[in-house]
């Protein structure tokens, strides 16, 4: 079948249009992807094993068990008044970047909720000292200003460390975490309570499709 020049040009334009449209779809399909739709998880304490890294589920499980152990210890249960605790630091001995402040913050909140201990804030000391100086500058009335020497001293220091061991063999991987916490008597320097939470997570490597 012989085609005229106008028909040939028409077919060429159609083929060019189809090729262009197909290329656009191909570029969009192979281009960078982004998370564009989300929703709130109603149960923030549900197990999260999305990755093989330290997760909020690990933190929640470890803190819950260790707080339960701490508040049941005689140093707290047999105290005449709620002991005053100062949280110092949590050492990260893993190969990951872990927000240790979040872990100690959760410890503080859960221990405070128990009603069995009170806390002094080490991080706020500098701010408190500055406020003493301001209130002593003559800008604050004598009836409301706070003076130095009235703070309550801590009875115990709470600190600890996170360790991990990672093992891989073929397609299998295990990640072991150990969170150890210590409660030290500030007067004697004796550790009156210590406990640890161990967790081991198992993962299997698989091909991820684009």
The dotted CATH code for 56-204 is 3.40.50.10610
| Secondary structure E strands in the chain | 84-92, 118-120, 156-169, 172-185, 191-204
- What is the band of 208 on the pLDDT scale with cuts at 50, 70, 90? low
CA distances for 35 relative to 27, 38, 118, 140, angstroms: 18, 8, 42, 52
Per-residue pLDDT reduced to its tens digit, 70-82: 999 999 999 999 9
The phi and psi torsions of 63 (rounded to 5 degrees) equal: -65, -45
Give residue-wise pLDDT tens across range 32-79: 666 566 555 555 555 656 677 888 888 999 999 999 999 999 999 999
Residues 6+ apart with CB under 8 A from 191: 182, 183, 184, 185
Longest C-alpha distance within the chain, in Å?
108
The residue ranges of every structural domain in the chain are 56-204
Q: What is the DSSP letter of 116?
A: S
Q: Say how far apart CA 34 and CA 28 lie, in whole Å.
A: 12
Check residue 123 and report its DSSP letter: G
Task: Give Cα 180 to chain centroid, integer Å.
Answer: 16
């Amino acid at each position: 079948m012989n085609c005229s020049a106008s028909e040939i040009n028409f077919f060429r334009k159609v083929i060019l249009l189809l090729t262009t449209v197909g290329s656009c779809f191909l570029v969009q399909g192979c281009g960078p992807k982004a998370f564009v739709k989300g929703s709130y998880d109603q149960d923030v304490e549900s197990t999260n094993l999305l990755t093989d890294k330290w997760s909020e589920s690990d933190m929640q499980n470890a803190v819950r068990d260790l707080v339960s152990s701490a508040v049941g210890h005689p140093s707290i249960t047999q105290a005449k008044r709620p002991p005053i605790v100062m949280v110092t630091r949590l050492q990260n001995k893993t190969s990951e970047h872990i927000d240790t402040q979040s872990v100690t913050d959760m410890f503080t909140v859960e221990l405070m909720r128990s009603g069995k201990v009170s806390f002094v804030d080490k991080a706020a000391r500098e701010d408190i000292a500055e406020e003493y100086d301001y209130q002593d500058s003559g800008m604050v009335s004598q009836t409301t200003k706070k003076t130095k020497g009235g703070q309550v001293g801590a009875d115990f220091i709470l600190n600890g460390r996170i360790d991990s061991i990672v093992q891989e063999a073929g397609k299998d991987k295990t990640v072991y975490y150990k969170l150890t916490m210590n409660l030290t008597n500030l007067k004697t320097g004796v550790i009156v309570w210590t406990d640890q939470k161990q967790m081991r997570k198992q993962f299997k490597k698989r091909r991820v499709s684009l």
